[in-house]
Every structure is written in structure tokens, then in C-alpha cells.
Chains A and B, each alone.
Chain A
């Protein structure tokens, strides 16, 4: 099993550009999450999904959109990137009823100039 994978690992964008981050998991998990990690702020939840075709807002959803067309994939989109979105983005997944065992991907380091 590959677990949770994220594509790409690194990206540099100019302000106003758009991009999509891909998260894939091969554990057949129902729940998936997108977090951002910033120094001194820990992890903050952007959006999450409790199953294929469903998404919901987390703590810091503004400026991001998500889609969960297939159970194994969770996409995070930035329509018009801003320097404030410079961060490390983590995807995670877990089984229903086991909320603490979230499995994390290796992260995507995004810089917006």
C-alpha cells in the first residue's frame, strides 16, 4: 500500500495563478481532509469530505475549493493564488469511527510570489 500520496511535492506560483493539488489514498478510507501548516499556528483544517461526492468547510476555507469525485481522490484547488496561501499543505484520511488515526501524506510545499 502506498498510503496517502500528494502531488506535487513542491510548487511556486505567481499571484493570481491557479493550481490543483491532488491527494490519493489506497486504504479505502471514507473520510479525507486538507490541512495547511504554518509556523506557530499548527495545522488548520481547510476542507474535508466524509465520502465520495461530499465536501464541507473547515476552519480556513476561503480562497480554496475542493472536489471528491472518486472515493480515493481529494482535490484542493486555488483559483487565484495569493501570497497568504504560501504554506505546506497536508492531506489526510481515516476510517469512520476511528477519527484519531488520521493517515497523512508527505505534504506539498507551495510558495506564492
Chain B
């Protein structure tokens, strides 16, 4: 079965510094990988996806993610963090060829002044 792991429960970053939120995956076949963000008291919002093509994918709000097949990783990155980026971030993988997603446990990002 497909799965994703987010090894960090929380990541703290100073505003203006680069940020990385880690995700590793385990799939059979080609991975379809996604990042979602959840702001307080809100539902999840889609950020970006990797299906095929360039290993560096760009998404909303200046976020990008790097797909690394040899390391089975799909880390979320942003060159310069903002306080408003503080939120809960979820990595997800598509199950098989269907429409279901399996989500990681989430990483709380805190960006401080």
C-alpha cells in the first residue's frame, strides 16, 4: 500500500529564512505526490503536485517541492518564509490509479519574526 511519512511534527523558521518541510513516500509504481496546507480552523487547500516531468515543481504562494526518486522524497520548500506561512502542511500520495489520497500526519510550520 502507498504511504507517506512526515518525520517532523513541527518546524520553526525565522521570517526571511528558507524553509523545508520533509516528506518521504513508499509506493509501487510511479508516485503521484501532493502538498496541501491547512490554516487554523479551515479545511485543507491544494498547494502543488508532482505527477511527471521536472523534479522541481512550483505551486501556490511561492512554494515549490523537489521530487527525488533515489531518496523517495518530496520535500516542500520556500526560499524566504513569511509569518503568514505558519500553518499545518500535509504531504499526500495517490492510491493506485484511483482518486483516493493517503495523507501524512502533518507538519506544523511556525514562522517567527
- A interface list, Cβ under 8 A from B: 4, 31, 33, 40-45, 48, 50, 58, 90, 92, 94, 96, 99-107
Contact = CB atoms under 8 A, between A and B. Distances in A.
Contact of B99 (A40, A41, A42, A96): A96
Interface in B77-97: 90, 92, 94
Contacts of B22: none
9 contacts: A41-B105, A42-B105, A90-B43, A99-B100, A100-B32, A100-B34, A106-B42, A107-B41, A107-B42
Q: A33, A92, A104, A105: which has the most chain B beta carbons within 10 Å?
A: A104
B46 A102 contact: yes
Contacts of A50: 99
B112 to A, nearest CB: 22
A41 B51 CA distance: 25
Contact of A104 (B44, B98, B99): B44
Interface residues of B, number: 22
B55 interface: no
Contact of B103 (A4, A43, A107): A43
B90 A42 contact: yes
Nearest to B95: A99
A92 B101 CA distance: 11
Contacts of B34: 100
B43 A4 contact: yes
Nearest to B104: A42
B43 A99 contact: no
A103 B43 CA distance: 8
Contacts of B94: 99-100
Contact of B41 (A43, A101, A106): A106
Nearest to B106: A42
A92 B90 CA distance: 15
Contacts of A105: 43
B17 interface: no
Nearest to A40: B105
Contacts of B32: 99-100
